[in-house]
């Protein structure tokens, strides 16, 4: 597994992958229903709506009600996929998710677009950077943050076949596509992208590609990187993480999220108990975002390729 | 259908259960529970098509009921136990550790009869709308019922749900509001005025029924049957049901003070004398 073998020849938004995945899942299973809170096209749900109008519910700008209705539909054996921005899919409706979906263990798929800084120009009101933390704290909640169009589509199909509440997080911008479109998504199974012995780089979502680019540069400098895509933050693939860390003894975790509460903390929690080693975070340092172009924002807030490079050098220094 | 005298007897016994459960736990909500006894007895004893055994979550071709104001769990638990959902003895575990009878109803412990967790207020109508839409998709002709408190209507999510039910013409849904005019901090008029509740529901597009005698069993049965006849006409149906918090126990009637307070031994004895043991027996 050589990092230089991973290439991307096109860009597509992860939310487009969700839209196609939902349509295909809808073909396969008549129990799948779609719900939105006035954001059909932002979530790319128009394909599903056109194919199955009777199975699609527009609920207006009322996310709390949407979560409750989704829970109710699931009682009748339906598999509801709710679609709105990540901000309105989590923080705005935390208690509805907590009581009516998570505690009640309902088969609801909370599908959340425009997560993180790469939402861009709308600014911090909409750029949620705490959602992974909130969702992974809920008992029984599966938390998935796929890395590109193909993986988001595959994840959408996979969660349709899983019984239980799921938080599926994806984003707005066109982003490099590099995963195998034929690969089936396995919930909770980390994907190793390269073999290495010096450092383990764990990444989720958009930052997987950023880490691949960084790892190519590091490889050229003679640093052997093991890049692993942690698309499922909960349940965490502890075995894959510990296997890698037992070889490299140095860890960098990258995510488009606060350092507090996200994938980094999930991995730190594991390592501090099972295998304490030097570890560095690439994530937002306890601040809100702002308006701007996605790539500019990632760079300003310490989530760019250079930040991954620095984090790797720092952790290698500490490893000694 | 159980005959009327049996339901009357059941209502007395349910009141005893409520007081004894809350007394045993020294915790719980007797006031709203007592005020809704006639509603629950009418619903489970006469109106609902339901199957306690085996209890099935999906409830296909059955009527579904959702309790939004989950804190009145004692009345629901009593009626569920006494209509065959679980052993009566289990009522003695109410609000105690390792019990399926949690303070607020939950699916988490697998108690038959419960389809959603409730207690954090304002979520039940949304859930009921979803379940009713599910039945419509399935071509299932049965009804979805939901009970909500009036104080609970302070929560904005209710009005989102109320708007959406009318918009989507959810006409297999019957919501009942326990219109007792009380909430924890005092009368609803003082805490957060509901103003004209019937006009509000009408303006949101619902078929509105008003029940003046929510503590009269025959009236409740008649109203629930009437509500069923009003369904299927493109509008959701609401019953604004006037009840008295604490009904049946004189020192608890009509005040918010027994919303969430348990009686002591003396108060329990006083109450037991007002709802005399029936041949159904205590748990």
Contact A32/B at CB under 8 A: no
CA distance B124 to chain A (A): 7
Is it the case that residue A223 has pLDDT exceeding 90?
A: yes
Q: Measure B130 CA to nearest chain A CA, in Å.
A: 4
Residues in A closer than 8 angstroms to B130, CB to CB, are 68-76, 80
pLDDT tens per residue, range A24-80: 999 999 999 999 999 999 999 999 999 999 999 999 999 999 999 999 999 999 999
CB contact under 8 A, B127 and A99: no
C-alpha to C-alpha distance for A260 and A283, rounded to whole angstroms: 9
Residue B200 pLDDT > 60, yes or no?
yes
Is A130 known to be catalytic?
no
Confidence of residue B42 (pLDDT cuts 50, 70, 90): very high
Contacts (Cβ under 8 Å, ≥6 apart) of A72: B66, B116, B126, B127, B128, B129, B130, B131, B132, B133, B134
Q: List CB contacts (< 8 A) between A105 and chain B.
A: 107-108
Mutation choice for B interface testing from A66, A76, A138 by most B CBs within 10 A: A76
- Give chain B positions within 8 Å (CB) of A68: 123-127, 129-130, 157, 161
Interchain contact A68–B (C-beta under 8 A) = yes
- CA dist., res. A57 & res. B129, Å (int): 12
Catalytic-role residue among A63, A130, A226, A280? A63
pLDDT at position B255: 87
Q: What is the residue-averaged pLDDT of chain A?
A: 98
Tokens describing residue A282: 């690439």
The pLDDT of B259-283, averaged and rounded, is: 96
What is the per-residue DSSP string for A154-195?
A: HHHHHHHTS-S-EEEE--SSEEEE-S-TTPPP-TT--EE---
Contacts of B116 in chain A (CB under 8 A): 71-72, 75, 100, 104, 106
- Ranges of beta strands (E only) in A116-270 are 142-144, 166-169, 174-177, 191-192, 199-203, 225-229, 232-234, 251-258
State the Cα–Cα distance between residues A208 and A214, nearest whole angstrom.
Answer: 10
CB-CB under 8 Å, B57 with A73: no
B115/A75 Cβ within 8 A = yes
Q: CB atoms < 10 A from the CB of A172, how many?
A: 24
Between CA A234 and CA B35 the distance in angstroms is: 44
**What average pLDDT does this structure show over B182-197?**
96
pLDDT tens across A95-145, in order? 999 999 999 999 999 999 999 999 999 999 999 999 999 999 999 999 999
* Cross-chain CB nearest to B58 (options A33, A77, A95): A77
Scan residues 104-123 of A and list those with Cβ closer than 8 Å to B.
Answer: 104-106
Whether the complex's predicted ipTM surpasses the cut of 0.95 = yes
Statement: residue B73 has pLDDT above 60: yes
Q: Which two tokens stand for residue B131?
A: 């379940």
pLDDT of B2 > 60? The answer is no
Question: In terms of CA atoms, which chain A residue is nearest residue B63?
Answer: A76
Tokens matching residue B36: 């809704």
Q: Which two tokens stand for residue A149?
A: 């169009």
Mean pLDDT of A1-27: 97
pTM recorded for the entire structure? 0.97
The pairing of strands A79-85 and A56-58 is unpaired
CB contact under 8 Å between A57 and B128, yes or no, is no
Among A66, A75, A97, the residue to mutate for chain B (most B Cβ within 10 A) = A75
A80 touches chain B (CB under 8 A): yes
- Cβ separation A68–B127 shorter than 8 A: yes
- Give the Å distances, CA to CA, from B1 to A59, B7, B88, B281: 39, 10, 21, 21
Contact B164 A76 (CB under 8 A): no
Q: Name beta bridge partners: A35.
A: A57, A82
Q: Cβ contacts (< 8 Å) between B123 and chain A: which residues?
A: 64, 68, 96, 99-100
Return d(Cα B188, Cα B185) in angstroms, integer: 8
Q: What is the mean pLDDT of chain B?
A: 97
Instruction: Give φ, ψ of B202 to 5 degrees.
Output: -60, -45
What does the pLDDT average to over A10-32?
98
Q: Which of A230, A225, A209 is nearest to A298 (CA)?
A: A209
Nearest to A75 among B116, B124, B163 (CB): B116
In this model, does residue B1 exceed pLDDT 70?
Answer: no
Beta bridge partners, B182, equal B187
Q: What is the mean pLDDT of residues B58-62?
A: 97
Does A72 sit within 8 Å of B131, measured CB to CB?
A: yes
Our CA dihedral for B181, B185, B191, B195, rounded to 10 degrees, sits at -10
For chain B, the residues whose C-beta falls within 8 A of a C-beta of chain A are 57-60, 64, 66, 106-108, 115-120, 122-135, 137-138, 140, 156-157, 160-161, 163-164, 167-168
Residues above pLDDT 90, as percent of chain B: 98
Q: Touching check for A75 and chain B: CB below 8 Å?
A: yes
């Amino acid at each position: 597994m050589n990092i230089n073998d991973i290439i991307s020849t096109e860009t597509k938004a992860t939310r487009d992958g969700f839209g196609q995945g939902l349509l295909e899942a809808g073909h396969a299973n008549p129990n799948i229903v779609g719900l939105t809170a006035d954001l059909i096209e932002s979530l790319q749900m128009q394909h599903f709506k056109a194919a199955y109008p009777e199975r699609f519910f527009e609920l207006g700008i009322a996310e709390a009600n949407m979560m409750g209705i989704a829970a109710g539909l699931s009682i009748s054996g339906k598999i509801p996929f709710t679609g709105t921005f990540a901000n309105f899919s989590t923080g705005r409706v935390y208690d509805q998710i907590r009581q009516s979906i998570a505690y009640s263990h309902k088969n609801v798929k909370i599908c959340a677009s425009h997560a993180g800084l790469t939402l861009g120009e709308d600014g911090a009101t909409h750029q949620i950077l705490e959602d992974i933390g909130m969702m992974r704290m809920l008992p029984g909640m599966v938390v998935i943050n796929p890395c590109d169009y193909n993986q988001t589509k595959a994840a959408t199909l996979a969660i349709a076949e899983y019984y239980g509440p799921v938080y599926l997080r994806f984003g707005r911008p066109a982003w490099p596509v590099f995963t195998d479109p034929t690969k089936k998504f396995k919930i909770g199974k980390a994907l190793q992208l390269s073999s290495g012995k010096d450092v383990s780089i764990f990444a989720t979502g958009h930052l997987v590609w950023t880490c691949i680019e960084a790892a190519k540069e590091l490889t050229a400098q003679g640093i052997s990187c093991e890049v692993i895509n942690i698309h499922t933050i909960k349940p965490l693939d502890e075995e894959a993480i510990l296997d890698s860390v037992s070889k490299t003894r140095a860890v960098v975790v990258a995510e488009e999220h606060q350092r507090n509460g996200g994938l980094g903390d999930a991995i730190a929690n594991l390592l501090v108990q099972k295998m304490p080693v030097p570890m560095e975070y690439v994530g937002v340092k306890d601040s809100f975002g702002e308006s701007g172009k996605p790539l500019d924002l990632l760079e300003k807030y310490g989530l760019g390729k250079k930040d991954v490079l620095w984090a790797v050098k720092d952790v290698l220094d500490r490893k000694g | 259908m159980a005959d009327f005298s049996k339901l009357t007897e059941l209502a007395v016994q349910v009141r005893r259960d409520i007081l004894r459960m809350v007394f045993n736990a020294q915790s719980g909500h007797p006031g709203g529970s007592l005020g809704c006894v006639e509603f629950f007895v009418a619903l489970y004893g006469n109106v609902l098509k339901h199957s306690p055994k085996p209890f099935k979550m999906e409830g296909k071709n059955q009527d579904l009921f959702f309790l939004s104001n989950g804190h009145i769990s004692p009345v629901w638990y009593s009626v569920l136990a006494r209509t065959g959902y679980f052993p009566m003895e289990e009522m003695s575990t109410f609000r105690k550790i390792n019990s399926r009878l949690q303070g607020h109803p939950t699916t988490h412990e697998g108690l038959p009869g419960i389809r959603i967790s409730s207690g954090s207020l304002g979520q039940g109508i949304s859930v009921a709308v979803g379940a009713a839409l599910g039945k419509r998709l399935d071509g299932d002709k049965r009804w979805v019922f939901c009970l909500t408190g009036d104080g609970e209507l302070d929560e904005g999510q209710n009005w989102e749900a109320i708007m959406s039910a009318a918009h989507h013409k959810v006409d297999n849904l019957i919501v009942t509001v326990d219109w007792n005019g009380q909430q924890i901090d005092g009368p609803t008029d003082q805490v957060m005025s509901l103003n004209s509740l019937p006009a509000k529901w009408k303006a949101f597009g619902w078929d509105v029924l008003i029940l003046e005698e929510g503590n009269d069993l025959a009236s409740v049965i008649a109203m629930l049957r009437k509500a069923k006849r009003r369904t299927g006409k493109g509008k959701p149906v609401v019953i604004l049901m006037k009840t008295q918090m604490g009904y049946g126990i004189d020192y608890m009637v009509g005040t918010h003070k027994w919303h969430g307070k348990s009686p002591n031994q003396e108060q329990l004895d006083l109450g037991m004398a007002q709802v005399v043991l029936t041949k159904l027996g205590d748990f």
